[in-house]
C-alpha cells in the first residue's frame, strides 16, 4: 500500500495569498504564536550568542533590536573611534564593490574535526557550527558577497561532534578573470589561492584542502553526489570482529532502514529506503592487532548513495552488541524485516565523535539543466575538471595536523603507560587478565545487570502510527491522489 503525505506549512512559509485566506481568529492565533516564538528565540540568543564570540558580542534589547555591548567596553570603543582621522574612518566604512568583479563556480574540499561543534549546518540558536565559521571566513575575505547570492550547496550535513575528512561544497567565488579565460591553464595557475586565503582566517580545526573549477554553474555538491562514504573508528576491546563483519554483509541485502535510524516523521520524512553499496569492519593501517590486543584500532566503513538521520550510529550500536556476542549477526535481518517488525526496539545510538565523512564521489556531468544550452562547445564536456592543490597550503596543513597528533598521542601514550602498569599489577596480585572495557565509552545505554535481547525490548511507535500522530497534530496531511506538492511516498507495513 502506497501513501503520500504533505508537510503542513508554518507561518514563515505562508505567502501573502495564503495569509489573506485566513480568518481574523486564525490571524490572531498566528500572531500570538509568533510573539511566543520570538520571546523564546530572544532568550536563547541572549544566552548563547553572548558566550560564543567575545570579540564581537551582541545583546538583545528589550525591544528586540540588536545593540553593541554597553559598559566599559562600549566606552573604550567610543574613545577609540574619536581618535580615528576622517580619511581613515571613510576607508573603514567603504564596502567592497562586487559589481566590478568576476565569479567562477567551484567545488571546495574541506577537512574539519567536529568534536567541539554543534554540527555542520548553521543554527539560529548557536554560532558554534562549521558552516557559521565557513561563511564568516568567506565574507571576511570578500570571496562572496552573501550566502544567499553564492549559489551554495553542501555534500553532507554532519551532526553534532561528527567530523569530515572530505566535506565538499559547491559555491560561486570571486575570480580574477572573466568566464572565457577561467579554464585556461595559465589563468588557473594565477587564480586566487582560495584555500590559502580561507585557511588564514578559519579556526585551526577547520581547513580547506583543495578546490576544483566547475564548468556548469548549476553543478551541485548535494544533488550531483552519487556516493558518500563514512568511517566510524573504535578500539577492538573484547569485540568479536569476525561476527561484526558477518553482520555487515547482511546490511547490503535490505533497503528499508526505518529500524536502524532516528525517524524524522514530523519533518515529512516517510521514505526510509536507502541502498548500501558496501559495509565492512577493517583494521586501521599501521596497527598490530596481535601486539596491541584490545587497544588495536578498527573502523566501520560504509558506502551508500545517501544516509538517514543517525543511521550509521544506530548500525554501529547494533554491531557493537554483535561484537560483544550479546546478539547474533542475524539480528540485522530481524531489524530490517519491516513487515515482520514494523516497530523499532528501544536502543541508544552509538556516540557521534568517532564518525567522519570520509569520501564523496560525483558524476562527471551534472543532471541539473545546463545554464548555457546554446553553447555547443561546452555541451558535451565534463563538468568536473581536477582538484587543484597548493604545495605550501598542504605543507601547512600537514604541520598543523602533526602538531595536533603529537598533542593527542602524548596524552594517549601517558594513559597507555599507566594502564600497562595497572594491568601488570592486577595480573600479579590477583592473577586476573583480559580486562577490556575500551568500547564502553561508545555505548550510552543504561547498564543493566542482565542483558535483554533487542527483539524482546519495548518497541517504539511504527511509522504508520507516527504519521497518524502528526496528522492529528496538524503537522502533516494526507492529500488526495491529485495533490503533488511536497509529497513523499512510503510503504505501509
Q: Cα–Cα distance between 284 and 298 in angstroms, integer?
A: 5
Q: Cα–Cα distance between 293 and 280 in angstroms, integer?
A: 20
Please give the sequence-ordered ranges of beta strands (E in DSSP) within 80-196, or none if there are none.
Answer: 102-112, 153-154, 163-175
18 is catalytic: no
- Sort strands 355-362 and 163-175 into parallel, antiparallel or unpaired: parallel
Residue 342 burial (10 A CB sphere; 0-12, 13-18, 19+): middle
Contact 154, 225 (CB under 8 A): no
Q: What does the angle CA 466 – CA 472 – CA 477 come to, to the nearest 5 degrees?
A: 80
Q: List, in order, residues 6 or more apart from 425 with CB less than 8 Å away.
A: none
Residue 65 burial (10 A CB sphere; 0-12, 13-18, 19+): exposed
Which residues are bridge partners to 456 per DSSP?
A: none
C-alpha cell at 475: 503537522
Contact 232, 300 (CB under 8 A): yes
* Alpha-carbon dihedral sign for residues 439, 440, 441, 444: positive
Q: Cα–Cα distance between 390 and 240 in angstroms, integer?
A: 43
Q: For cell 563556480, what's the residue?
A: 105
- Check 159, 172, 224, 256 and give the catalytic one: 159
b/e per residue, 72-89, with b = 16+ CB within 10 A? eeeeeeeeeeeeeeeeee
Query: Phi first, then psi: what are they for 245, rounded to 5°?
Result: -65, -40
Query: How many CA atoms are closer than 13 Å to the CA of 19, on its beta-carbon side?
Result: 12
What are the residue numbers of the active site?
159
Amino acid at each position: 500500500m502506497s501513501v503520500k503525505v504533505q508537510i503542513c506549512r508554518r507561518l514563515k512559509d505562508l505567502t501573502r495569498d495564503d495569509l489573506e485566506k485566513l480568518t481574523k481568529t486564525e490571524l490572531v492565533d498566528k500572531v500570538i504564536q509568533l510573539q511566543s516564538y520570538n520571546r523564546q528565540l530572544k532568550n536563547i540568543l541572549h544566552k548563547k550568542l553572548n558566550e560564543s564570540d567575545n570579540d564581537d558580542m551582541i545583546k538583545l534589547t528589550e525591544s528586540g533590536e540588536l545593540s553593541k555591548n554597553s559598559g566599559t567596553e562600549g566606552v573604550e570603543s567610543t574613545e577609540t573611534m574619536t581618535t580615528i582621522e576622517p580619511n581613515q574612518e571613510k576607508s573603514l566604512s567603504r564596502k567592497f564593490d562586487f559589481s566590478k568583479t568576476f565569479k567562477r563556480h567551484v567545488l571546495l574540499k574541506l577537512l574539519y574535526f567536529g568534536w567541539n561543534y554543534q554540527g555542520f549546518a548553521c543554527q539560529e540558536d548557536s554560532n558554534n557550527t562549521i558552516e557559521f565559521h565557513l561563511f564568516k571566513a568567506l565574507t571576511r575575505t570578500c570571496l562572496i558577497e552573501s550566502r544567499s547570492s553564492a549559489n551554495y550547496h553542501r555534500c553532507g550535513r554532519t551532526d553534532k561532534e561528527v567530523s569530515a575528512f572530505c566535506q565538499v561544497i559547491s559555491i560561486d567565488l570571486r575570480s580574477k578573470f572573466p568566464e572565457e579565460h577561467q579554464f585556461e591553464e595559465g589563468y588557473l595557475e594565477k587564480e586566487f589561492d582560495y584555500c590559502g586565503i580561507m585557511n588564514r582566517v578559519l579556526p585551526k580545526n577547520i581547513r580547506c584542502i583543495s578546490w576544483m573549477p566547475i564548468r556548469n554553474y548549476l553543478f551541485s555538491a548535494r544533488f550531483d553526489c552519487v556516493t558518500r562514504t563514512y568511517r566510524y573508528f573504535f578500539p577492538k576491546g573484547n569485540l568479536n570482529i569476525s561476527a561484526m563483519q558477518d553482520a555487515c554483509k547482511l546490511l547490503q541485502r535490505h533497503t528499508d532502514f526505518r529500524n536502524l535510524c532516528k525517524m524524522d516523521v514530523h519533518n515529512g520524512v516517510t521514505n526510509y529506503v536507502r541502498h548500501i553499496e558496501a559495509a565492512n569492519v577493517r583494521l586501521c593501517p599501521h596497527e598490530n592487532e596481535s601486539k596491541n590486543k584490545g587497544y588495536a584500532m578498527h573502523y566501520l566503513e560504509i558506502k551508500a548513495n545517501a544516509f538517514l538521520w543517525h543511521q550509521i550510529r544506530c548500525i554501529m550500536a547494533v554491531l557493537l552488541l554483535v561484537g560483544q556476542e550479546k546478539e547474533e549477526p542475524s539480528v540485522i535481518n530481524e531489524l530490517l524485516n519491516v513487515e515482520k517488525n514494523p516497530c523499532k526496539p528501544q536502543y541508544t545510538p552509538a556516540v557521534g565523535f568517532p564518525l567522519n565523512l570520509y569520501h564523496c564521489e560525483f558524476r562527471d556531468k551534472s543532471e541539473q539543466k545546463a545554464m548555457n544550452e546554446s553553447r555547443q562547445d561546452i555541451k558535451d564536456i565534463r563538468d568536473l575538471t581536477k582538484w587543484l592543490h597548493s604545495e605550501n597550503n598542504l605543507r601547512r596543513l600537514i604541520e598543523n595536523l602533526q602538531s595536533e597528533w603529537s598533542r593527542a598521542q602524548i596524552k594517549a601514550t601517558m594513559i597507555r603507560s599507566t594502564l600497562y602498569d595497572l594491568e601488570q599489577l592486577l595480573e600479579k596480585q590477583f592473577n586476573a587478565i583480559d580486562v577490556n572495557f575500551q568500547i564502553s565509552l561508545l555505548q550510552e545505554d543504561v547498564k543493566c545487570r542482565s542483558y535483554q535481547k533487542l527483539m524482546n525490548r519495548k518497541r517504539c511507535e511504527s511509522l504508520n502510527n507516527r504519521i497518524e500522530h502528526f496528522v492529528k497534530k496538524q503537522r502533516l496531511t494526507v492529500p488526495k491522489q491529485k495533490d503533488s506538492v511536497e509529497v513523499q511516498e512510503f510503504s505501509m507495513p
